[in-house]
Amino acid sequence: MKSNLPETPLGQRALSHTQRMVACRSVNGTSGEIGFPDEVRAMLMGIAYFAARPDHIYESDVPGTPQGRRNILALLKGNGSRTVVLTGHFDTVGVDDYGALRDVATDPAVLAERIIAQLEDSGRSPEALADIQSGTFIPGRGMLDMKSGLGAGLAVLEAFSADPDFDGNLIFLASPDEENQSAGMRAAGSLLNQVAQDHDLEYVLQINMDALQDEGDVARAQAVGTGCIGKHLVTALVVGREAHACYPLDGLNALFLASSLVREMECHPALAEGDHGDASAPPVALVQNDLRAHYDITTPARAWCAWNMITRTRTAGEVLSQCTAIFAKALDEAVALHGARVRATGAAVPDREIPIYTFKDLEEQAAASPTYEAQEQVLAAQLREREDLPMPARARLLTELAWDHAQLAGPAVVIGFGGLSYPAVPPLASRGEQALAALVARATTKVSAAHDTPIGILNWLPIVTDMSFAGQDDAEGYHAAADNNPLWGCGIEWDVDGFPRMPAINAGPWGRDYHRSLERANFNYAFTVLPELLCELVRGSLGDVQADRP
């Protein structure tokens, strides 16, 4: 493998910081993730500014997660109140996908040699072989997602610390748990508020440094995102009317109804936002289960479905309304089809209308039960300890409990949310941030020209990131997600109104094979171009960008 060294001292520091971070494993949900802030603190203490001011390094616990998860924040104090936040997550996905190479998955140099030998022997992935053999890309778990982003951010913080009289302030914030439920970033709001109060700071921009993947167009991979898609996990508890399998006409199979919903929702074009050729991904089913604990000859009484739903401009309430309308159409057609088939046997067809309840509606009816509140608190406490149980499964148990206490009869459907909802962040220009949008254009143009490489600007990042929590500006609209999510307060805790509002963008590394054993970051962009781009964005933001406003 060709050995590389970044062209600039800034890039060399970014590489050094990244290599140290990658070597310190921080797989989500492990002791490595819990201990990683200690490594970041040690790195910060190697910078003269923080060695002299250790009180400018803050840590805070992340509630509602395994004990010991922490955010770590470093404040570089300059002149004035204007403050830019450089942020990213330090947890990674696991290393089991590396197989025999798992022990060296966080040693890029050794891993590169082993991968080259493996690929040469197998003939698999000529592209990855060429990438790594040439030194154009550097492999390692967390290298792309997203420790090379954090390494670049830390190098920028270190570079600014060498100027004792710079204008503005710079924060470096590293958070856990992005790969699960973004508990770190959700909890960071209180820490950011505390630091702002202690030092009289005005937050003018958050720069998230998460990674993008090459999809055939380099200008869309090495790019700055000025907006970010949102995401909801829409769920449906489908209640049918069970019957003996020898007498199926006596009931209405919950799986039949659930399949009708899945068929109608799958990739529904009305739920994909954007123009032709630039639309967000349409909804796709992730879960469809019947809820029997064991096999018997009775048709399923209940089923559970969940869909991934990407948003740009729609609120949680609008998502519920749209999905409810699609559910209603699917159920009407299912009832008509079922009726026609029953009629064909000569049997009588019952009149049926299948009601659709939101989870909020259901819980209000369940609250009339004298035992619901106590039983819900017991179950919620049990589920908080069930790290092994996915969020949608926990949501299903809580929804079923509410159904059991609501004294309603099937067939019916309950619609809600079954995971963390990520708010969409509109592009800067559409939020009235023309001056910041102009700054991004100037910075990308300047750095692109300096390195003769394209740097794109994306209105919508195609990935879900922690940028959602600082950049979202529709806290009121988000409450519909909270009200209709049984997990709110039971595994999902977030003070929606308490997170400091600031414009947010994403500028991070790019690479290939995200979350796979051939994960690799583009070397030149991560360790030469990106650090300089971050410096330009920070300098411009700490100046008075309002002067550019028309």
> What type of residue sits at position 89?
H
pLDDT digits (tens, 9 = 90+) for 157-206: 999 999 878 899 999 999 999 988 888 998 999 999 999 999 999 999 99
**Cβ burial, residue 456 (10 Å; 0-12/13-18/19+):** middle
Domain ranges of the chain: 9-228+425-543, 230-417
The secondary element (H helix, E strand) that includes residue 238 is: strand 230-239
pLDDT digits (tens, 9 = 90+) for 301-320: 999 999 999 999 898 999 99
Average pLDDT value for residue range 500-512: 95
Average pLDDT value for residue range 497-506: 88
As assigned by CATH, the class of the 230-417 domain is alpha beta
Do 435 and 544 contact (CB within 8 A), yes or no? Answer: no
**For the chain, percent helix, then strand, then coil, each to nearest 5?**
45, 20, 35
pLDDT at 248 over 80: yes
Helix 434-451, helix 530-542: angle, nearest 10: 150
pLDDT digits (tens, 9 = 90+) for 534-546: 999 999 999 855 4
pLDDT at 501: 87
**Helix ranges, 391-472 (H):** 391-406, 434-451, 467-471
pLDDT at 180: 85
Average pLDDT value for residue range 408-432: 91
Half-sphere exposure of 413 (CA within 13 A, CB side): 34
pLDDT at 548: 40
pLDDT digits (tens, 9 = 90+) for 376-399: 999 999 998 887 888 999 999 999
pLDDT at 489: 81
Local confidence band at 145 (pLDDT 50, 70, 90 cut-offs) = very high
pLDDT at 476: 66
pLDDT at 156 over 70: yes
Give the span between the Cα atoms of 243 and 250, in whole angstroms: 6
DSSP SS3 for 148: helix
Q: Tell which residue, 378, 375, 379, has the closest CA to residue 367.
A: 375
Give the span between the Cα atoms of 437 and 431, in whole angstroms: 10
pLDDT at 457 over 60: yes
Tell which wins on pLDDT, 140 or 348. Answer: 140
pLDDT at 74 over 70: yes
**How far is CA 273 from each of CA 64, 220, 240, 461, rounded to the nearest angstrom?**
33, 19, 32, 13
How many other C-beta atoms can be found within 10 angstroms of the C-beta atom of residue 28?
Answer: 19
Phi, psi torsion values for 204, nearest 5 degrees = -110, -20
The CATH number that domain 9-228+425-543 falls under is: 3.40.630.10
Average pLDDT value for residue range 82-110: 97
pLDDT at 546: 45
pLDDT at 544: 58
Rg (C-alpha) for the chain, rounded Å, is 26
**Residue 354 forms beta bridges with which residues?**
none
DSSP SS3 for 424: coil
Among 250-259, 273-282, 423-432, the range of highest mean pLDDT: 250-259
Question: Residue written as tokens 């030469």?
Answer: 528
This prediction has a pTM of: 0.90
Give the span between the Cα atoms of 70 and 63, in whole angstroms: 9
Least confident of 112-116, 147-151, 289-293, 390-394: 289-293
Write the CB contacts of 433 (distance below 8 Å, at least 6 apart in sequence): 503
Share of the chain above pLDDT 70, in %: 96
Give the span between the Cα atoms of 389 and 164, in whole angstroms: 50
Share of the chain above pLDDT 90, in %: 75
Mean pLDDT computed over every residue of the chain: 92
Tell which wins on pLDDT, 353 or 75. Answer: 75
Average pLDDT value for residue range 73-94: 97
pLDDT at 280: 86
**How far is CA 18 from each of CA 126, 158, 267, 533, rounded to the nearest angstrom?**
26, 14, 39, 17
pLDDT at 547 over 70: no
pLDDT at 191: 95
Local confidence band at 495 (pLDDT 50, 70, 90 cut-offs) = confident
Least confident of 314-318, 331-335, 453-457: 314-318
pLDDT at 550 over 50: no
Average pLDDT value for residue range 216-224: 89
pLDDT at 384: 85
**Residue 124 forms beta bridges with which residues?**
none
DSSP SS3 for 179: coil
